[in-house]
Structure 1
Amino acid sequence: MVSNKGGKFGFVYRSRQSVYRALRRKGMPKSRAARISNEGVTRAGRSAMGRKAARTRQRRGR
């Protein structure tokens, strides 16, 4: 199970732990996976991530 203890043990919100695990399966470092998964806890955070992803895709010509 993903740690939700905090401090040196790291922290990922319970509702976002499946996202964290998926990112880890793709080979992402723990700190980066936690940062991304925790960003999407609120709807505003998910919307911001979607807008950023759209900009990235557009810039790369996809």
Structure 2
Amino acid sequence: MVSDRGGRWGFVYRSRQAAYRALRRKGASKEKAARISNGGRVFPQRSRMARKGWRTRRARGR
């Protein structure tokens, strides 16, 4: 299981640990995976991140 202990062991909310593991499988660093998964703790936060990603991709022509 991913740590939800905090401090030097890192911290990922228990409800977001599946997302953290998926990011790690895709090659994200522990720090980056934790930052992304913790950022989307509740649905409105995930929606906001998805919209931001869409705007970024559109602006870069992808």
| TM-score in terms of structure 1 length | 0.91
Give, in angstroms, the shift of residue 59 of structure 1: 1.6
Secondary structure at 1:11's aligned position in 2? coil
How far apart are the structure 2 equivalents of 1:39 and 1:52? 13
Give, in angstroms, the shift of residue 52 of structure 1: 1.1
How far apart are the structure 1 equivalents of 2:45 and 2:23? 17
Give, in angstroms, the shift of residue 60 of structure 1: 2.3
For structure 2, which runs of at least 5 residues remain unmatched after alignment? Answer: none
1:37 is aligned to: 37
Identity of aligned residues (%): 65
Give, in angstroms, the shift of residue 22 of structure 1: 0.5
Instruction: Report how many aligned residue pairs link the two structures.
Output: 62
Secondary structure at 2:35's aligned position in 1? helix
- Tell me how large the CA RMSD over aligned residues is: 0.9
Q: Which amino acid aligns with 1:17?
A: Q
For structure 1, which runs of at least 5 residues remain unmatched after alignment? Answer: none
